[in-house]
Amino acid sequence: MADDLPQNEPGAQRFRIRRGAAGLLESDLVGRARQAWSTNKWVRRAVYALLAFLVLYAIVWVTVIRTLPSADKLLTYQPPLPTMVRGNDGEIVSSYARERRVQLRFVDFPEPLINAFLSAEDKTFWTHGGIDYLGFAGAVVDYATKYGSGQRAKGGSTITQQVAKNILVGDEYSVSRKLKEILLARKIEGVLSKQQILELYLNEIPLGRQSFGVQAAARAYFDKDVGDLKLHEAAFLAILPKAPERYGRKKYETQALTRRNWVLDQMVKNGWASRAQADEAKAQPLGLVQRRAENYTADAGYFLEEVRRQLIDKFGENADNGPNSVYAGGLWVRTSLDTQLQKAAQSSLRTGLLRYSAGRAWSGPIATINVDDNWQGELVASNISINYQDWRIGVVLKGGGGNGTIGFADGTTGPLWGMPDAMKPGHVIAVAPAGGGWAVRVVPEVSGGMVVEDPQSGRVLAMQGGFDSRLGSFNRATQANRQPGSTIKPFVYATALDNGMTPASMVLDGTFCVYQGAALGQKCFRNFDMRGAGGTHTLRWGLEQSRNLMTVRIANDTGMDKVVRTIKNVGIGDYQPFLSMALGAGDTTVARMVNAYAALANHGRQHEQTLVDYVQDRNGKVVWKADNRDCAGCNMARWDGRSMPRFKPLGKQVMDQRTAYQVVHMLEGVVVRGTAEVLADLKLPLFGKTGTTSGPTNVWFCGGSPDIIAGVYMGYDAPRSLGGYAQGGRIAAPIFKQFVLETRPRWSDTPFTVPAGVRMVKVDRVSGKRVFAGVPQDDERKASVIWEAFKPDTEPKRTVRAEEMTAKEAVIEALKRARAARGLPPPSDEGGSVEGDFVEEQGGIY
């Protein structure tokens, strides 16, 4: 080191000189700085300014820059999009959206629309670098003059800044948010092109009526696509960013016209429209359409709500739940909804409900709200409406003496005729036009549900869960647990067929009592018609006529543990082995009953009931599908010479296919000559079963064809008697009949196919005995001889007529005499003698 050098060395002397010179220089600089600080006020001001800038930068860094989001996020930005739902024909039937959003590409935006927005919001957009400094300066001055007044200063934001606000930093009214917006705008201009920025802006800008982006707004205000907008309409949309919920209202129409015309003038000034075009546009009225929901052709509210529930369970509701959420993921959902069958199911069920309710008095309001200055808002908030003929939902505003005033959600009012005495102001009711005013219409208090299914796939084709889903979302097709009554009987009979009985087995239709223990005592069952005994009959007759006593006796002889196991296997319910369950005392839903009947029609093979076929994300990738079968080798480039690859069969075999067909064959008799005889004149291969529960509180019908299965029930939501005359054959079966008539071309004349292992044998319909003479008549209702389905070795043995037996005995006697004449001993019972021959005694081989 230099300090260690000897004092007399030249190097040491040079070091001391340099150090001394540095010290003198440092001392001189400090001295000059002190002198300047003390004598020059501008130096002091410059230092203060520098310190202030450093402190301010530190504050901005901590509060703004440090928390600034990355502009690169916009490169991969995925806007929240609604879920679009398609029917089984690929047509859009609905959407799940809390906001109207439609994404377009930049090339899809018409030039006049772009120029209208630039004229209104940012005329220097194509030339600035993200910030309009003159506009920003004006905004600062405006903010300073309004500070503390409670008024909001004008934004002075460019379109790039608005993109930063709408997507990255939010709409908080603060200086820090404005600083973030400015800083991000500069970064965005370096990341995205002008076209990309404008595309984001025009797709994301909030424009009122729950619409985001110009395409959604064009639909909301004009019921048009952006490509169909006229100049005055494009100019109107351009004024909305300033006050999106203001200019679309009737009472602000004058202000909206003034602002729209200003935009047109700006377009002329900027060279984006001629004066003649602007003047022509100014002469046009606003031309806004009334606010209304999306108009889709399918009225399938119950079906679509069930789909929505299932999608939320799978993917979540909001963006926080994942990228494929229902209300933000932009999913495309293909459902099994058949709009033709859905329309028929809705119409048929409604007609049945109205037919039953005809002539009944008004049963009370749909809902009740407060009738005050905001009655319109409360009626809108109730979200109650109806879509039936010309009916409307309104609220009683005042009344007396049978007449009053009705108000509607759009704010209009009118006279109300024929008010019941019990109707009061605040009651929400249904009305229809009548005599220059409105007349009360009665929404049926009774309700019900209907489900239609494809038995070969389990796909639900239609679902109606009440009179109208707009009156309430409770879906009686899937959520109402009701007793199925006699519609459960086919599965009792199926159990008997699996355990040794046949359709021709004879069962006593007589009084049946069972001791249930000391607490419950003895229980005696009875038939629906109150008759206690009706002789001995075949299983077929018992099922066709829905005989309770025969059913209970069959269940008891077969074993209730086996019966409830069959019922569980087909998915109806998990019941205790009580005999009452054989008569439909356990709760289930119409959806489960239809799926069980589908298994019968599909030879005992049951598919999981589905409403959704598959789901695609916003980019078209399939993220879920109902059919997950793997087909190994299906995508081979070349055939390898082996057997053709095939899918494994879907579903689960829940019943012997032969048993399933035997039940279906007997249930065809229910339609031909049984409790569902009302369907016989349809002249179609149909099977089915009616049901009526105690009370009667519910009436049912389930059945269909080889291709379509439907089930329907009717009853009050709070179960009570429907009246003594109510039966499934009188009320429910006609609903099914109307459904078939409205969709007749969809029903094939192809009969149910007979599976392997079933023998079709001619029997006497009444006795069940096998016959050979004659053929089944064309009039099946009156036929004495019918074809019956049997499993091998269970069919009745051959019977012989008396005259045939006399001829046989004469032949045997002749044989005996011939043997005696030849000196042969008489035949013995062993070794295949004539009398003892089994084949001979049974009348031959069958």
Q: List residues with catalytic annotation.
A: 121, 486
Chain centre to alpha carbon of residue 691: 28
Q: What's the Cα-to-Cα distance from 364 to each of 379, 380, 404, 420, rounded to whole Å? A: 17, 20, 16, 10
Torsion angle of the four alpha carbons 96, 99, 104, 108, in this order, in degrees rounded to the nearest 10: 120
Contacts 24+ apart (CB under 8 A), 10-17: none
CB atoms within 10 A of CB 729: 20
What residue has token string 């959420």? Answer: 325
CB 375 within 8 A of CB 369: yes
Tell me which residue of 703, 689, 691, 715 sits closest to 484, measured CA to CA: 691
**Peptide bond between residue 734 and the one before it cis (omega within 30 degrees of 0):** no
How far apart, in whole angstroms, are the C-alpha atoms of residue 284 and residue 230?
10
Based on C-alpha coordinates, what's the Rg of the chain?
A: 42
What residue has token string 């704010």? Answer: 411
| Crossing angle for the helix pair 339-357 and 733-742, to the nearest 10 degrees | 140
How far apart, in whole angstroms, are the C-alpha atoms of residue 498 and residue 484?
22
Q: Where are the alpha helices (DSSP H) in 94-193?
A: 111-121, 133-146, 159-163, 175-191
Three-state SS across 741-773? HHCHHHCCCCCCCCCCCCEEEEEECCCCCECCC
Q: What's the Cα-to-Cα distance from 723 to each of 531, 537, 696, 720, rounded to whole Å? A: 19, 30, 7, 9
Amino acid at residue number 426: G
What residue has token string 């079963």? Answer: 689
CB atoms within 10 A of CB 637: 5
How far apart, in whole angstroms, are the C-alpha atoms of residue 628 and residue 644?
19
Torsion angle of the four alpha carbons 832, 833, 838, 844, in this order, in degrees rounded to the nearest 10: 100
How far apart, in whole angstroms, are the C-alpha atoms of residue 361 and residue 185?
67
Amino acid at residue number 169: V
How far apart, in whole angstroms, are the C-alpha atoms of residue 549 and residue 583?
10
How far apart, in whole angstroms, are the C-alpha atoms of residue 68 and residue 246?
32
What does residue 744 show for φ and ψ, rounded to 5 degrees?
Answer: -50, -40
